[in-house]
Each structure stands twice: as C-alpha cells, then as structure tokens.
Amino acid sequence: MHKLFSRVALTVLGLGMAIMPMNVASAKTTFITIGTGGITGVYYPTGGAIAKIINERFDQLQIKATAEATGASIFNINAVHSGDLDFGIAQADSQYLAYNGQGEWQGKPVKDLRAVFSLAPEMITFVVAEDSNIKKLEDVKGKVINIGNPGSGNRQNAIDIFNAMGINYEKDFKAESLKAADAPRMLQDGRIDGFFYTVGHPNGNIKEATAGMRKTRIVAIPEIKALFENFPYYSLDTIDMTAYPEATNAKDGKVTTVGMKATFITSANVPDEVVYNITKAIFENIEELRTLHPALANLTKEGMIQGLTAPLHPGAEKYYKEVGLIK
C-alpha cells in the first residue's frame, strides 16, 4: 500500500515536473511577503498585481511572492522593520514620518526603512451621508466620524487636517477607529455619519459606500494653510467623480482634496539581489502593471522614482542607474 502510494506520488510529481519543469519551489526559491491594506482599497490589488508579475516570472527570478491584507501603511512599515514582512505599501507621508522619527514614530526613527518605488497617487477621501448635513469639514461637530484603524495612514491624515483647522478630534466629534473595509457598511447601516479613507481612485470601497440606499457625498477638503506649511508631503489634488456616479455630488466632476503618493517599501535587511530583481521585473513590465487595476493606469517609470523620502534600497538604486533613470 505504502509502495503503491509512493509510486503514484512519484508519478504525479514526475508529471507535474514534466509540465512545469521549473515552476516548483526549490532550495533556491526566495519567498517574499508584501503587506497591503484592506481588501476593498487599492493597496491590496496593487500588491496582488506586483506578486502576479513576479510569480509569472518564477523561472527567471526564483522568487515566490504573496500579497497579504493588513491594517495598511503604519502596520506595513512596522512589520517590514520587524522582519514579519519583506515588502509593504505605505503612504509617502508615513514613510517620511517613520524614517525621520516623527508622528507615530516620535523618537523612534525606522532607520532601516528603504524606498523601492512609488505607485499611484492617493487622496484623502471624506465620504458622508447626505442626511448628516455635513457639507464641509466644520460640519463634523457632534457627528460620528470614522478616522480609521490605528495601523492605517489615513488616521494620521484626518488628525492632521482637524488639528490644522483647530477642530479637536477627541472632543468636537465622536472619532471611530474602524478598519477602512468596514466603513462603507457602517455608513450604509447608519452607524456612522461619515468616514475618512486615504486611497487611490477608483476603488471598490468608495464605490460600495456611494452605491447604497443611503445617499452619500464626497466632501471637498480645501487648501488649509497650516496643513501645507507644517507638512511638506501634502499637496492639493482632485478626486475624479466619474468613478462614483451615485454620489449626490457626482455632477461636480472633480472634488478638491489633499493627496500624496503610495510607495513600495522594504528594509535595508532585504538582500540587494532580491530588491534588484523585483524592481527590474516591475519596471520592465510596467505596461502589464498598468492594466491590472484602473488606479495604476497612469503609472510612468519617471513618476515611480519620485515622491520617495526614505533612502533608496541599494538593489533598486542599482537598477535605476543601470537604465539611466537616475545618475
């Protein structure tokens, strides 16, 4: 019985190897994990797209990549630092704060944090129920607003905005700490009046929030002087409302808000060769990357080396020099 089993097993293995001679993990295989965000955001499909491009080239790279759903930017930076993740996606502002030991990382700079490339822009997105009567930021007083889970980057963004406006997020309204993936349902169920999500567009989360029975709108975030003066990484941007036709202010076309870039990060402890191979695979296949999620459609090679604040990982730097993207 045992003999029969092993013969069958060997045959199956043999057949498998004949069909895909190289596509099995071996002692040489490097396994990497990529931390993303909630499954309805843009980080999760972006991490999946990066993993797909890597895994499709297993024969050349000998790398197997997996993208994991996580609490997002801050969680990913901390997990890359501790070695629980090899790569992660994080907002450019979180990258800056972590490397420089500010905000969340006050007095504890993450000196081994390394930038690999940047991704699509993200915008601070403030979705509210029409019946909450919130038309501008000041109207949040007395309302229930989700500012995001502690591992997220968007939580700090909401806090920065309210601080810059002189609104106390601990007193002037009820700030919830829900994960982004849960916020649209909570809004539709009437449990919250609105939520903040710093995210690329279009995405499933804001579609879900705006397409339900309870009517919703996206509130503009104006140019707040104190915000731009204090934080170099914020810039004005707009949300294209064509992605959210059911929002009550869809006819506005574009809604002004504050944005920054999403970035792909790693640790100085990840070997140069691994980072080099991944960077090269992604840059050489940027056309494929652009097709894997609509929020990635406008990526350019030149744009992907901008917006980075932590030092470049030497593996990525080697590739950019080789192709002349940097000197």
Q: Token digits for 66? A: 């997996």
Shortest CA distance to 89 belongs to which of 149, 150, 36, 46? 36
Count of residues touching ligand GLU (by CB under 6 A): 15
Q: Does 72 bind ligand GLU (CB under 6 A)?
A: yes
Binding test (CB under 6 A) with ligand GLU, winner from 199, 219, 221, 247: 199
Closer CB to ligand GLU, 280 or 293, in the complex: 293
Q: What's the chain's length in residues?
A: 327
Pairing verdict, β 30-35 and 63-68? parallel
Q: Minimum distance from CB of 157 to ligand GLU (Å)?
A: 8
Q: Give residues 133-162 in contact with ligand GLU (rule: CB under 6 A).
A: 152-154
Closer CB to ligand GLU, 78 or 91, in the complex: 91
Q: Minimum distance from CB of 114 to ligand GLU (Å)?
A: 18
Pairing verdict, β 30-35 and 194-199? unpaired
Binding test (CB under 6 A) with ligand GLU, winner from 30, 32, 35, 41: 41
Binding test (CB under 6 A) with ligand GLU, winner from 104, 122, 160, 317: 122
Q: Minimum distance from CB of 268 to ligand GLU (Å)?
A: 22
Alpha-helical (H) ranges within the chain are 2-19, 43-56, 58-61, 73-82, 92-100, 154-165, 183-188, 204-210, 225-230, 272-284, 286-291, 314-322
Q: Does 30 bind ligand GLU (CB under 6 A)?
A: no
Q: Minimum distance from CB of 43 to ligand GLU (Å)?
A: 3
> Per-residue x/- marks for ligand GLU, 76-95, CB under 6 A?
---------------x----
Q: Give residues 205-264 in contact with ligand GLU (rule: CB under 6 A).
A: none
Contact between 116 and 296 (Cβ < 8 Å): no
Handedness of CA 130, 133, 135, 137 (dihedral sign): negative
Q: Minimum distance from CB of 305 to ligand GLU (Å)?
A: 20
Q: Which long-range contacts (CB under 8 A, 24 or more apart) does 297-300 make?
A: 298/120, 299/119, 299/120
Binding test (CB under 6 A) with ligand GLU, winner from 35, 38, 47, 307: 38
Q: Does 181 bind ligand GLU (CB under 6 A)?
A: no
Residue-wise over 181-209: b if at least 16 C-beta within 10 A, else e?
bbbbebbbeeebbbbbbbbbbbbbbbbbb
The dihedrals phi and psi of 326, each to the nearest 5 degrees, come to -135, 160
Collapsing DSSP to helix, strand or coil, 122 comes out as strand
Binding test (CB under 6 A) with ligand GLU, winner from 95, 198, 216, 267: 198
Q: Does 188 bind ligand GLU (CB under 6 A)?
A: no
Closer CB to ligand GLU, 153 or 315, in the complex: 153
Binding site for ligand GLU (CB under 6 A): 37-38, 41-43, 72-73, 91, 122, 152-154, 198-200
